């Protein structure tokens, strides 16, 4: 038996212009479209490295605004947003080490947003690692090729998580 | 029969024609916008707009007809989900039924649910590859879900999970065709099953 709809609920079909147009024949075939997109991304790599350089400078500036260990929510949000961008674009652009460091820093900042103390040393350590990962010699390196760095950063994250307020009590 | 009425047997190798469609990318990150722009150009799109915040999105939507919005979940100043809700809830907005693809770095279940409840057509996790983005666009292009308009929600029918993701789109070869959840009740004993069958047979013979 069909369910009867309440009188204030309307259900209707929508055929958007996007659907009409996207289903037209003559589009770029799937495999070629994906290949073209990948080639396009590859051509951005040099531009990406320049952008990362500018982002790291901006990130450093944003961190300088934080006085001592007293970070305001808006400052953390801004730093976090920049880190997320580095992580998200870094993966797409194939810079594995940079992505790993940015991801670790995002986790640290998420801990800070959840109440962990803002530890300047932990943040600066990540920023230095990001600057290193941007350099030519490290650009194509995977995290597992620099185990000392990765385990050091993991320890930094653990340190941040340890300072989270205990919610069990 | 129009082209849009033709349903492909499988979406696995389906193509989309993005030529002359107006696509709006909204992301606070300049390079993320550049990457998505590059992908869409590779897919054949030739009308691509960009916005870095909610005001830019709303202004673009007021100035022209946009065919699809690719929107970051954390778009400032509030977030992309609030923008989605604002678009869907505005009864005077001609873009009200616009397909909205939400990009999110935080693909946790709660975020996905919030995106769905805001009226998003589909969610894509960042970082995304060209293949993922392409498959999501195909999915939206062939999506047959109806719209629901009620006092608490306006947007695509949210009850599509049961059918799973369309065949071939973004799935791994090892994925099951239908997701099976854990049992919530104990299995029936053989005696119970036998008695059910007996009762059914008895009913047939009457």
CATH, residue B46:
3.40.50.2300
Query: B6 vs A23: CB contact, 8 Å cut-off?
Result: yes
At residue A66, the pLDDT reads 78
Q: Which of A162-166, B32-36, B143-147 has the lowest mean pLDDT?
A: A162-166
CB of B34 within 8 A of CB of B63? no
Q: Is residue B188 part of a domain?
A: no
- pLDDT, tens only, B102-129: 999 887 888 889 999 999 999 999 888 9
Where do the domains of chain A lie?
45-162
Report the b/e string of B148-186 with b at 16+ CB within 10 A. bbeeebbbbeeebeeeebbeebbeeeeeeeeeeeeeeee
Is B103 among the domain residues? yes
β-partners of residue A10 are B149
B101 vs B95: CA distance, rounded Å: 14
Q: What's the pLDDT band for B71 if we cut at 50, 70, 90?
A: very high
For B102, phi and psi rounded to 5 degrees? -90, 130
Measured between CA atoms, the residue of chain B closest to residue A54 is B31
Chain B residue closest in CA terms to A52: B31
Smallest Cα distance from A44 to chain B, Å: 8
What pLDDT sits at residue A67?
Answer: 66
Please answer whether residues B130 and B39 qualify as being in contact, where contact means their C-beta atoms are separated by less than 8 angstroms: yes
Query: Is A11's CB within 8 Å of B149's CB?
Result: yes
The answer to whether residue B191 sits within a structural domain is no
Q: How far apart are the first and last CA of chain B?
A: 49
By the 8 A CB rule, do A124 and A64 touch?
Answer: no
Residue at B26 is within a domain? yes
User: For A45-162, CATH number?
Assistant: 1.20.120.160
Q: Tell whether B146 lies on the interface with A, counting CB pairs under 8 A.
A: yes
Q: Tell me whether residue B7 is exposed, middle or buried, using C-beta atoms within 10 angstroms of its C-beta: 0 to 12, 13 to 18, 19 or more.
A: exposed
Count of domains forming chain B: 1
Dist CA B166 CA B25 (whole Å): 24
| Among the ranges given (A27-31, A58-62, B139-143, B196-200), the one the predictor scored with the smallest mean pLDDT | B196-200
Contacts of B192 (CB under 8 A, 6+ apart): none
Domain that holds residue B95: 3-163
**pLDDT tens digits along A70-87:** 678 888 888 898 899 999
In a domain, B54, yes or no: yes
Closest chain A CA to residue B131? A34
Within a domain: B128: yes
Question: Would you call B163 helix, strand, or coil by DSSP?
Answer: helix
Per the CB < 8 Å rule, is A17 touching B65? yes
Interchain CB distance below 8 Å, A37 and B14: no
Concatenated DSSP letters of chain A: -PPPPPTT-EEE----HHHHHHTSTTPPPHHHHHHHHHHHHHHTHHHHHHHHHHHHHHHHHHHHHSBTTB--HHHHHHHHHHHHHHHHHHHHHT-HHHHHHHHHHHHHHHHHHTT----HHHHHHHHHHHHHHHSHHHHT--GGG-HHHHHHHHHHHHHHHHTSPP---
ipTM: 0.83
The verdict on residue B40 lying in a domain is yes
C-alpha B45: how far from chain center: 20
Tens digits of residue pLDDT in A87-115:
989 988 889 999 999 999 999 999 999 99
For chain A positions 18-37, those within 8 Å of chain B (CB to CB) are: 18-30, 33-37
- Partner B contacted by A169 (CB < 8 A): no
Residue B173 is assigned to a structural domain of this protein: no
- The token pair at B11 is 């979406």
User: Rounded mean pLDDT of chain A?
Assistant: 89
DSSP B29-87: -HHHHHHHHHHHHHHT--EEEEESSHHHHHHHHHHS--SEEEEETT-SSS-HHHHHHHH
On whether any CB of chain B is under 8 Å from the CB of A41, the answer is: yes
Q: What would the pLDDT profile of B11-68 be if each residue is shown by its tens digit?
A: 667 899 999 999 999 999 999 999 999 999 999 999 999 999 999 999 999 999 999 9
Global pTM reads 0.79
- pLDDT of A39 higher than 90: yes
Contact residues, chain A, for B32 at CB < 8 Å: 85, 88-89
């Amino acid at each position: 038996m069909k369910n009867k709809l309440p009188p204030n609920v309307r259900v209707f079909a929508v055929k958007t212009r996007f659907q009409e147009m996207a289903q037209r024949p003559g589009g770029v075939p799937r495999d070629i479209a994906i290949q073209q997109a990948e080639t396009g991304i590859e051509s951005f790599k040099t531009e990406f490295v320049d952008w990362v350089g500018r982002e790291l400078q901006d990130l450093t500036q944003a961190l300088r605004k934080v006085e001592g260990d007293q970070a305001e929510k808006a400052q953390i949000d801004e730093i976090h947003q920049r880190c997320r961008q580095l992580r998200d674009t870094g993966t797409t652009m194939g810079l594995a080490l940079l992505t790993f460091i940015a991801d670790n820093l995002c986790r640290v900042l998420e801990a800070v947003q959840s109440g962990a103390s803002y530890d300047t040393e932990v943040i600066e350590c990540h920023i230095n690692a990001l600057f290193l990962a941007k350099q030519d010699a490290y650009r194509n390196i995977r995290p597992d090729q620099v185990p000392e760095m990765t385990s050091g950063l993991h320890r930094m994250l653990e340190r941040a998580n340890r300072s989270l307020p205990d919610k069990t009590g | 029969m129009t082209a849009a009425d033709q349903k492909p047997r499988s979406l696995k190798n389906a193509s989309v024609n993005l030529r002359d469609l107006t696509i709006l990318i909204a992301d606070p990150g300049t390079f993320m916008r550049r990457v998505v722009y590059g992908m869409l150009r590779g897919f054949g799109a030739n009308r691509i707009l960009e916005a870095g915040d909610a005001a830019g999105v709303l202004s673009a939507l007021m100035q022209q007809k946009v065919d699809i919005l690719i929107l970051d979940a954390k778009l400032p100043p509030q977030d992309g989900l609030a923008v989605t809700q604002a678009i869907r809830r505005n009864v005077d907005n001609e873009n009200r039924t616009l397909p909205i693809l939400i990009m999110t770095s935080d693909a946790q279940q709660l975020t996905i649910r919030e995106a769905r409840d805001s009226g998003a057509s589909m969610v894509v996790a960042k970082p995304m590859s060209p293949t993922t983005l392409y498959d999501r666009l195909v999915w939206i292009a062939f999506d047959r879900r109806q719209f629901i308009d009620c006092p608490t929600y306006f947007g695509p029918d949210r009850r599509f999970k049961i059918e799973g993701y369309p065949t071939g789109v973004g799935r791994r070869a090892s994925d099951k065709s239908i997701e099976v959840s854990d049992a919530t009740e104990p299995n029936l004993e053989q005696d119970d099953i036998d008695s059910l069958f007996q009762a059914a047979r008895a009913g047939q013979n009457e």
